[in-house]
Amino acid sequence: MTGIEGKVVAITGASSGIGEATALLLAERGAKVVLGARRSDRLEALAARIEAAAGEVAYARTDVTRRADLAGLVELACERYGRLDVLVNNAGVGPISPLDDLRVEDWEQMIDVNLKGVLYGIAAALPVFRTQGFGQFVNTASTAAHRIVPNMSVYAGTKSAVRDISEGLRQEAGDTLRVTIISPGFTRTDFTESAANPLVKAQLTESRDKFAIPPDAIARAIAFAIEQPADVDVGEIIVRPTAQG
Ligand SMILES: NC(=O)c1ccc[n+]([C@@H]2O[C@H](COP(=O)([O-])OP(=O)(O)OC[C@H]3O[C@@H](n4cnc5c(N)ncnc54)[C@H](OP(=O)(O)O)[C@@H]3O)[C@@H](O)[C@H]2O)c1
């Protein structure tokens, strides 16, 4: 199957920002979207919007730090629509701060959500993709994995790991599965809200308001990777504001 129409696409972190924009764009283009995030009230409202526009959608409260939740999301896709074509491992958090702040719980949260969450997604979907003989992972990294800057070391570490694991997965995947890394630059979402250090948060918010791109720009890149023919594997797309250094 090529293109987007009719594909079953599960998306984690679909309750806001890039995940929400991706769900809306793919549903508009005929995908059956299966949405996961913790804020199920937001998923319910998003599903209602998609259904009102004649789209097909299912959703389930999903915390990506719980392996069973990811398994449940993949199961929901398979039960409702008979298969899973794409898993977009998009959920992520960025409570960034200087290492001197010793915000160890934030470090753990970034590792649990950004890194282990992606691994749990792989663990849930890979056996399904193997049985089907097709499937695509779209894993969200970041420009932070390409250019390491102060205050972002743990966040960048999780995103670098996502890139490494995705590339390893691509090499192991063989000639039937596709693996795409999406590396967004500064994107206008709620992401900056989670920065705990007030100075860092103020800097981030200023930059975001000055030059961040809308989440739809990242959704279009994800759609591009999905719509390629089955023998075309888009390895990585970096999408950043023109003004980002
Ligand atoms: N915005 C940027 O500038 C930027 C740049 C590079 C990369 N990224 C990456 O892009 C991805 C999406 O972020 P965004 O910018 O769209 O930010 P966002 O609006 O804050 O969205 C983050 C999403 O992740 C979900 N999430 C957080 N913790 C979760 C958990 N434990 N289980 C399940 N879902 C969880 C949130 O949903 P709930 O709270 O409802 O669970 C939300 O839907 C992230 O991986 C982020 O690292 C963003």
**Rounded to an integer, what distance in angstroms lies between the CA atom of residue 176 and that of residue 158?**
27
Q: Please give the torsion angle defined by the CA atoms of residues 46, 35, 14 and 56, in that order, rounded to the nearest 10 degrees.
A: -50
**Rounded to an integer, what distance in angstroms lies between the CA atom of residue 39 and that of residue 117?**
16
Whether 19 is in the pocket of ligand 1, judged by its Cβ within 6 Å, is yes
First-to-final CA distance of the chain: 38
Average pLDDT of the chain is 97
Kindly state the average pLDDT of the residues 181-208.
Answer: 93
The string of pLDDT tens digits covering residues 131-152 is: 999 999 999 999 999 999 999 9
pTM over 0.85: yes
Q: Catalytic: 155?
A: yes
Q: How far, in Å, is the centroid of ligand 1 from the Cα of 92?
A: 4
User: What local confidence, expressed as pLDDT, does residue 196 receive?
Assistant: 83
The string of pLDDT tens digits covering residues 36-95 is: 999 999 999 999 999 999 999 999 999 999 999 999 999 999 999 999 999 999 999 999
Whether 38 is in the pocket of ligand 1, judged by its Cβ within 6 Å, is yes
Whether 17 is in the pocket of ligand 1, judged by its Cβ within 6 Å, is yes
Contacts 24+ apart (CB under 8 A), 148-155: 150/98, 151/96, 151/97, 151/98, 151/197, 151/200, 152/94, 152/96, 153/99, 154/96, 154/99, 154/106, 154/107, 154/110, 154/111, 155/94, 155/96, 155/110, 155/114
Index of the ligand 1 atom closest to the CA of residue 65 = 31
